[in-house]
Chains A and B, each alone.
Chain A
Amino acid sequence: GAVVSQHPSWVICKSGTSVKIECRSLDFQATTMFWYRQFPKQSLMLMATSNEGSKATYEQGVEKDKFLINHASLTLSTLTVTSAHPEDSSFYICSGQGQGLGEQYFGPGTRLTVT
């Protein structure tokens, strides 16, 4: 099946700094990538949808200036959490969707801890 990877798998950063998370589709071209956030013991909440070469579409309540998403190629999307604060600590999961593939393929997730 289609594989999506994320890097890093776990990151700790200090409050006020920025951190970048990469999401790669390894064996397919992801025309659309999605970013989700998962709070402890809760479900996944869609943050934004990005199409290759276009600006991301953010869900209501998600600050686009804080969570910068770039989808520069068909195999790579990045999420940058700017000026991170402890409340941004969470599990971030990306997924990719290829042209004609239909379903989304999920990455393993990145655990962000902001101290």
Chain B
Amino acid sequence: GNSVTQMEGPVTLSEEAFLTINCTYTATGYPSLFWYVQYPGEGLQLLLKATKADDKGSNKGFEATYRKETTSFHLEKGSVQVSDSAVYFCALTGDNFNKFYFGSGTKLNVKP
């Protein structure tokens, strides 16, 4: 079956630190992979995505590379800001984008 596993949080970093949030997946077929961000009291916003192996998704300084050989899609950012504090969800979906499988979410706290 399909599932997503994320590192547990919270992750607390100082401003300008390097961020990695690990995400691994189990899937049948060829899933598309996503990172969503949820700010306090808000819904999910798409941060980035990758639809095939070796694709790199990037947005707002965040990056993630679709690694089929390690079934991973780790989120990275070179220098985090206080405004990046949020909960980050890794997710996958199948060919028809119908059913999303979400990881448990990782809360990021960035301190000034």
Contact = CB atoms under 8 A, between A and B. Distances in A.
Interface of A: 6, 32, 34, 41-44, 46, 49, 93, 97, 102-109, 111
A104 B97 CA distance: 7
Main secondary structure of the interface of A (DSSP, over half): strand
B8 to A, nearest CB: 11
A97 B98 CA distance: 8
Interface string B46-71: 10010000000000000000000000
Given A97-B97, A97-B98, A43 B42 contact: no
B18 interface: no
A65 to B, nearest CB: 23
Contacts of A6: 43
Q: Which 5 pairs show the lowest CB-CB distances between chains A and B? A: A108-B43, A106-B44, A109-B43, A43-B102, A43-B104
